[in-house]
Each structure stands twice: as C-alpha cells, then as structure tokens.
Amino acid sequence: MNKSELIKRFEDIEWEDFSLPRNPNIANLLHRAGYIEKMGTGINKMKNLISKAGLPPIKFEFDNFFTATFRRPKTRKKVIDLIKNNTKITSAELAGILEITVKGIEWNLAKLKEKGIIERIGPAKGGYWKVVEK
C-alpha cells in the first residue's frame, strides 16, 4: 500500500547520488527506456542548470508531499530595463526578447502602468514609453 508520504525527512537526505525510488520496478523500467540518465542525479542537475542559467533558485517544500517550485525571473524588472534602453520598443519586440507571449507582455505593461512605474506618451503607434523615476 502506498501512503503517499515521503520515505525520509527532506532535511536528512544527502542529495549527492541519492536515490530511493518509491517503486524501484518503475524507476528501473524508465532508466532502461532512456527516460532517466542516472539514478539519484535529478535534483542536483536541476539546481546546477538553474544556477548556470541565472534563474531564481528552486524552492523545495515538504510535508506529506514533495514539491519543487520554479520561479520565473523578474519579468517586470526586465521590461523596465528594456524600456529604459529603447523607449520606442514595441510589445512584440519585448515578447520576442523575453520569450513570452505578447499577451503576457501587455499584462505586465498594464500592471506597471497601474503602479505608476511607466507611462505611454502619445498614440499606440508612434508613441513612446517613459519610466517614471520615483
């Protein structure tokens, strides 16, 4: 019977090459099928790749379940920096640079305008952005 709880306390786990699969048969099958490179390397590999990419660290939580939370980089800060460098930058250009949708950019721009951090001067076409220094 599977109680759906952690086998060991999270803080007590030595992560280097640690592997204690809940179902060794499934883990072994996935390993042989090529979905798992090496048992016990996933968490360290994730942490190293996230760090190399300059992204916020993964937040690990535990109670009866194990949760890994990946946080996105500070999109609004990047939007502000890009606007400071090019006041005539378009939503499409911002979306391309930040690799998110135009709708996502428009949502972030609306939040920045609501907070009074940026202003749109002039029309949608032909206007420019102004970062309000506080």
Q: Mean pLDDT, the chain, as a whole number?
A: 82
CA 91 – CA 82 distance, rounded (Å): 11
- 76 exposure class (CB count in 10 Å sphere: 0-12, 13-18, 19+): middle
Q: Which domains does the chain have, with CATH numbers?
A: 10-69 (no CATH), 75-131 (1.10.10.10)
CA 127 – CA 120 distance, rounded (Å): 7
Token reading at 53: 């990419």
pLDDT of 6: 53
Name the more confident of 83 and 7: 83
pTM over 0.75: no
Q: Please tell me whether residue 54 adopts helix, strand or coil conformation.
A: coil
Instruction: Label residue 11 by pLDDT band (50, 70, 90).
Output: low
CA 39 – CA 96 distance, rounded (Å): 37
